[in-house]
Structure 1
Amino acid sequence: MKTLATFLVLLNYFTRCHGWICTTAPSHQAASQVDAGNGMVVMTDKNSNSFFLSDSSWSKLGSVPLKHVSVGSAGVWGVDRDNKVYKFSAGDFFPTHGQVLIQVDAGDGKVVGVTSQNTIHCLDANSAAAIEEEGNLNWRTIPGLLMYFSCGPVGCWGVNSGQDIFFTKASPDSCSLGGWNRIDGAAVKVEVGSDGRVFVVNQSGNVYERTGISEAAPQGTGWTQISFCVSIKHVTYDLGRLWLLTDAGVILNCI
């Protein structure tokens, strides 16, 4: 325990990576996933509890056990261990119907996600904003197979089971997508920030940012590695802050 405490103190003072200065976020044991969007940071732990960051501590988010949670302009969404999809409203998560998913992304008005068979699905912004507890949602199936999917204002990014990275142009308010473009590199996770910045984590726990993203080149032009002294499991970005989850379950806040 003393060794871990020493490591965290040193990390707070000495982690400077390609312009990023990182400190440890408020501690929480057994964090398993983190997501940031719309000015909010949420996380789940290994016991399927969900939390949101409030000032300098984590506060419980709803009563439903969830394995994955996402926050963005489409609200707060999550999936449980049975792959049922939930939306947060009026103080708690309620179940939705029409699709089962293993991962959701709520960062761009619409809600997107993938199934355990790697099929890709999208709920347009109007449907996501107007859902009620009863009735099936009209999820649109998108051609292709991905194991992780994230969308932003410029486009959508995904990775497949072969760790290939793909990009497609997308309307922020609908499920209208263009064709898939294979991007150089390999990753197991990809996240798009609310301003369109893109970050990936590869199988070795290394983090990269996509460079050269613009209206003329929405898919970007290259990758820049952000070096860390620990292996990273998950990355997310919002409002100028990079949030990282280490393999040890420590959440880092980088500016």
Structure 2
Amino acid sequence: MGNLNKVKTLVLLCILELSCSPRWKRIEGSPMKFVSVGANGVWGVDQDNGVYYRSGTFHNEGSSGTGWESVDGSLKQIAAGQDVWGVDSSDRIFIRTGITSSNPTGTSWQQIAGGLKQIDVSSNAEAYSVWGVNSGDYIYRRTWVTKCTPTGAGWQMISGRLKFVSVGPAGVWGVNVHNNVFYRVGTYGNEGSAGTTWVHIQGKQLKQVSSGENVVWGVDNNNDVFIREEVPLPNQNLRGKQLVATEDGMNYTAYDVFLQPGETVCLTSPPSPLLNHVYYCVSGSGTGTASKGRVYEFSPDVVVAFSSGITCTVKVTSGEKLRLFCIFCDDVEPSVDRAVARSLSEIVGTDRDIDWGRGHSRRFLKKSDGFPISVHNTFGQAGARNALCYKHHVESAYYVKGRATYTWEEGAKEAETRIDATNGTVYSMNAHDPHHMIVHEDIEALCVFHPVLVGNENHDFSGEYSGFKPSE
């Protein structure tokens, strides 16, 4: 997506509720040994390696379709995503060309150099990714794959050995010959990334996994189906969705976390590396007791920030979930304990409440607070059109209310916020990207800057782009 590293619309990991009524619907027609669903619809392979497309499912993944339509070719496994890829009985790799809304089955198969026994492809046009494993269980990722160049340019070998790999919004997951499950660090919500390392996910042995929209499905040797709802966080006591990842180059990571009513959890730094941990309460309420006995109240628009040496046990006291925007960043002075608790009501009307002409920036954390990041609640008025470029800082803006559009690369790229009660959209400006923010409806965004701001910086829209001076 150009230099604007990521625009993510994230959905909280679902909790699957099972009832006694049937949840599975049998699809009539030719028996299939393998099916795949993605942006280009539902595709399948039968026992004779015949290829089929499910009519009526193109760009309509939620539909069960109207019937199976035979497609030329012979494949043992197929992957439907932003494009349709497959492998045949000789491990040759193919991509389907000519797929359009008027011709959803495409026109022909184009062979891609290499050999894989299994392949998977993402549905995200802006983070297009193809992964696979060969007969030796070596892992490969297709390079230079984009919407405009779907065939890519080559294969990148990824460390490790897997017999099955899956790529999707929940990241890259796989299983090895022993049915151990692995997650690729740095790929959650960032499926276009190669990630950094494999982490063994304890608790279940599976023969196959599938990475979905904030959930991971799997099948074991008994053909029992499982679903995993949580995502790895620096604090293993928490579960949620990743907003800002390490490889984004922002010098911090961020997550959206929900705690259940009555739940008690310890907020802490991981043992290594030592991290400051900061919490913006979006909704719900709870009471926390820190390691030195101080009590902190978590309620909407309250920020509580701790250095790595402080832990805080929080119990959710409200009848609704406690939603926390969680930020982790390096603690360069771990021997010094620091804690800040500040509410929006304490900030409004003070020198921390900056009127930038088209809204307000309420600065919960600034340089004098002793943390390496600034945390702001930003309000923007409908109708605002702002040209922004932070040459000396990186910023992520997590939109939780309202509607706005970002454009960058001189208008060639754009993305609009998608927000509901449990989901938001994060824009990460990690390359000092010139961009425009267009506010359609009053917005509220939770913004994080690095390096930390002094706190009195303000915008000047008299020039081409507005930003902030280097932190003093």
What TM-score comes out, normalization by structure 2 length? Answer: 0.39
1-side partners of 2:148 and 2:224: how far apart? Answer: 34
- 1:94 Cα deviation (Å)? 1.3
Would the aligned equivalents of 2:14 and 2:214 in 1 still touch at CA under 8 Å?
A: no
Structure 1, unaligned runs of 5 or more: 1-19, 28-54
Q: Deviations over 1:141-169 (max 9, x none)?
A: 00000000112234211100000001112
Cα 1:94–1:25 change in 2 (3 A) is farther
Q: Deviations over 1:213-238 (max 9, x none)?
A: 498x8211111111124x20110021
Q: Which has the higher contact order (CA 8 A, sep 6+)?
A: 1
Q: Higher Cα Rg: structure 1 or 2? A: 2
From 162, 165, 185, the counterpart of 1:190? 165
2-side partners of 1:141 and 1:249: how far apart? Answer: 32
Query: Counterpart of 1:116?
Result: 89
From 145, 167, 172, the counterpart of 2:147? 172
What's the RMSD between the two structures over aligned residues? 2.7
Would the aligned equivalents of 1:188 and 1:201 in 2 still touch at CA under 8 Å?
A: yes
Matched, 1:219 2:194: yes
Query: Counterpart of 2:34?
Result: 68
3-state DSSP of counterpart to 2:154 = coil
The 5 A counterparts of 1:199-218 are: 199-213=173-187, 218=193
Matched, 1:131 2:103: yes
3-state DSSP of counterpart to 2:28 = coil
More helix by share: 1
1-side partners of 2:68 and 2:149: how far apart? Answer: 24
Matched letter for residue 85 of structure 2: V
1-side partners of 2:17 and 2:177: how far apart? Answer: 23
1-side partners of 2:118 and 2:228: how far apart? Answer: 23
Q: Deviations over 1:65-120 (max 9, x none)?
A: 110000011100000011110000151111011x2100100022x10000000000
Matched letter for residue 151 of structure 2: S
2-side partners of 1:174 and 1:250: how far apart? Answer: 38
Query: Counterpart of 1:3?
Result: none
2-side partners of 1:200 and 1:132: how far apart? Answer: 29
Cα 1:144–1:25 change in 2 (3 A) is farther
- 1:23 Cα deviation (Å)? 7.2
Query: Counterpart of 2:44?
Result: 78
Would the aligned equivalents of 1:25 and 1:253 in 2 still touch at CA under 8 Å?
A: no
Matched, 1:87 2:53: yes
Cα 1:174–1:129 change in 2 (3 A) is farther
Q: Deviations over 1:36-82 (max 9, x none)?
A: xxxxxxxxxxxxxxxxxxx8511012311110000011100000011
2-side partners of 1:22 and 1:202: how far apart? Answer: 27
Matched, 1:246 2:212: no
Q: How many residues align?
A: 201
Structure 2, unaligned runs of 5 or more: 1-12, 57-65, 230-472
- 1:189 Cα deviation (Å)? 0.6
What TM-score comes out, normalization by structure 1 length? Answer: 0.71
1-side partners of 2:137 and 2:17: how far apart? Answer: 29
Identity %: 29
- 1:129 Cα deviation (Å)? 4.2
Would the aligned equivalents of 1:163 and 1:187 in 2 still touch at CA under 8 Å?
A: yes
Cα 1:139–1:74 change in 2 (3 A) is same
2-side partners of 1:63 and 1:184: how far apart? Answer: 41
Cα 1:128–1:26 change in 2 (3 A) is farther
3-state DSSP of counterpart to 2:108 = coil
Matched letter for residue 112 of structure 1: W
Matched letter for residue 68 of structure 1: F
Matched letter for residue 41 of structure 2: G
1-side partners of 2:130 and 2:35: how far apart? Answer: 18
From 142, 166, 170, the counterpart of 2:112? 142
More strand by share: 1
3-state DSSP of counterpart to 1:57 = coil
- 1:130 Cα deviation (Å)? 3.8
Would the aligned equivalents of 2:112 and 2:151 in 1 still touch at CA under 8 Å?
A: no
- 1:174 Cα deviation (Å)? 4.9
Query: Counterpart of 1:40?
Result: none
